[in-house]
Structure 1
Amino acid sequence: MNQEVNSYDEASAQTVELGNRLADDETANPGEIADGLLAGAIQYWLYSRQPCGDLSCEDCSVLCTAERRLEELLTIVRELAETSEYYHSPHDHGAGRA
Structure 2
Amino acid sequence: MANRVDDATIEYVGILAKLELSQEERQAAKRDMSRMLDYVDKLNELDTEGVEPMSHLFPVHNVFREDEVTNTGSREQILANAPEQKDGAFKVPRTIE
- Note whether the superposition's TM-score is higher than 0.5: no
Rg larger in structure: 2
TM-score normalized by structure 2?
A: 0.30
Considering fraction of residues, name the structure with more helix: 1
Considering fraction of residues, name the structure with more strand: 2
